[in-house]
Amino acid sequence: MIRPLSVVVFLLLGLAGNSVEAQTATAVKPPEVRVLKNSPGQADGLIFIAPKGAGIGGGPQPGPVGPEIVDSTGRVIWFSEVTNGQIAADFRVQSYRGKPVLTWAQQSNFGKLAGATSVNYILDDTYHIIATVRAGNGLNADAHDFLLTPQGTALITIYDVVTADLSSVGGSKNAQVWEGSIQEIDVATGNVIFEWHSLGKVGFDESYWPLPDSSTKAWDYIHINGIALDDDGNLLLSARHTSTVYKLDRHTGAVIWRLGGKKSDFRFGPGAGFYFQHDPVVAGPNTLRIFDNEVNPKPVLPGSRVIWLKLDPSAKTATLIRSLDHPEHISVLSQGSAQPLDNGNTFVGWGEPGRFSEFDANGRLIFDATLPKGYDTYRAYRFRWPPPS
């Protein structure tokens, strides 16, 4: 049962070793959620968001920001303010050591890349931090994804500036490039047990992103924004700036196949193509669910959507089997997520516009809400919380 008393609010003051000092802060007013539609048929559970300054890179913070839990009326259940110019991202419920936990990634300059260093937090059902995860091998974690695995490990995203020869794509021979990498970290020890780098595996010619207009700026050629486990244990990696989902061998790091982009190994059926996507996740045997942004920055379609693709590994085809879009045809320049719910519904976070919605199994919009102007949330979810005892 949800605690029926006043909002529980924590103020994150800073780091103390591997923990975060927290104190109650009654003066902090969490961002208010405005509910636009609240119809019957919703799945059980509360809504998990992480309000921050809106826009690519995160605009100026319009007020308190941080992980927030609300109910379907917009009532705040729990909020943890993040200070010192930082933001939280990907706030959700996951499983660690067989128990439900709260997780989020926290850093400054979300999406701006330069100077961003993410710390990933794991909290128990009493809101106490039980573990933190950082990148290893001298690299800096990024907040785009923090995925716990059944093996007690965490998959994290990393951006790092390297020098590379871009003469093959019209750049200089000694250019600065943002390389996209991932690490798998043993949560208990902090040891890196798997590391993958995009250079040498993803070519510069795969990118749709223009070269920077200054030789002093690093080129964000791949822009990794999501990691997932495939049903065979290998990895799915989403790269926005190549409009591609890569399947990676979890042991060797080899690219098993490319879905989408300039070098796709799959042919697309009608309506199955996607562009500048986020959050690809397994949704059944040889089936992926993808948040398809369709804008970067010019729209490819009138609105963003959630799509389900059936892959035929033998014929190398991708077929559209389902699609959801908002009745207002929301165009999402950045961010976004889609989550299956236990009753067959789908919960969608619309990223930069600060909207989040629930659709029933027939695609009917039954819940819709928005954050105040100036805020967005990278992803949005619905979970049962606290977990049943």
For each of the domains in the chain, give its residue range(s) and CATH number, in order of start: 8-383 (2.120.10.30)
Question: What pLDDT shows up at residue 55?
Answer: 75
Closest by CA to 90, choosing from 339, 368, 290, 373, is 339
Average pLDDT per block of 10 residues along the chain, 389 residues long? 36 36 58 98 98 78 94 97 92 97 90 72 97 95 95 96 95 94 98 98 97 88 97 97 98 97 98 98 97 92 97 98 97 97 98 97 98 96 90
Question: What pLDDT shows up at residue 84?
Answer: 87
Q: Are 178 and 115 in contact (CB under 8 A)?
A: no
If one counts every other C-beta atom within 10 angstroms of the C-beta of residue 174, the result is 11
The residue type of 382 is R
Question: What pLDDT shows up at residue 56?
Answer: 67
Question: What pLDDT shows up at residue 268?
Answer: 98
Question: What pLDDT shows up at residue 25?
Answer: 42
Question: What pLDDT shows up at residue 114?
Answer: 57
Whole-number Å distance between alpha carbons of 356 and 380: 6
Question: What pLDDT shows up at residue 387?
Answer: 83
Whole-number Å distance between alpha carbons of 210 and 292: 20
Distances (CA, A) of 21 to 29, 70, 135: 19, 23, 21
Q: Give the residue carrying structure tokens 């591997």.
A: 18
The residue type of 389 is S
SS (H, E, C) the chain: CCCCCCCEEEEEEEEECCEEEEEECCCCCCCCCEEEEECCCCCCCEEEECCEECCCCCCCCCCCECCEEECCCCCEEEEEEECCCEEEEEEEEEEECCEEEEEEEEEECCCCCCCCCCEEEEECCCCCEEEEECCCCCCCEEEEEEEECCCCEEEEEEEEEEEECCHHHCCCCCEEEEEEEEEEEECCCCCEEEEEECCCCCCHHHCCCCCCCCCCCCECCCCEEEEEECCCCCEEEEEHHHCEEEEECCCCCCEEEEECCCCCCCEECCCCCCCCCEEEEEEECCEEEEEECCECCCECCCCCEEEEEEEECCCCEEEEEEEECCCCCCCCCCCCEEEECCCCCEEEECCCCCEEEEECCCCCEEEEEECCCCEECCCCEEECCCCCC
Q: Give the residue carrying structure tokens 């499983």.
A: 95
Distances (CA, A) of 295 to 1, 111, 169, 218, 333: 41, 17, 23, 22, 6
In whole angstroms, what separates CA 194 from the centre of its chain?
A: 20
Whole-number Å distance between alpha carbons of 377 and 143: 13
Whole-number Å distance between alpha carbons of 164 and 166: 6
Q: Give the residue carrying structure tokens 């959050």.
A: 279
Question: What pLDDT shows up at residue 283?
Answer: 97
Largest Cα–Cα distance in the chain? 62
If one counts every other C-beta atom within 10 angstroms of the C-beta of residue 85, the result is 11
If one counts every other C-beta atom within 10 angstroms of the C-beta of residue 36, the result is 14
Question: What pLDDT shows up at residue 298?
Answer: 87
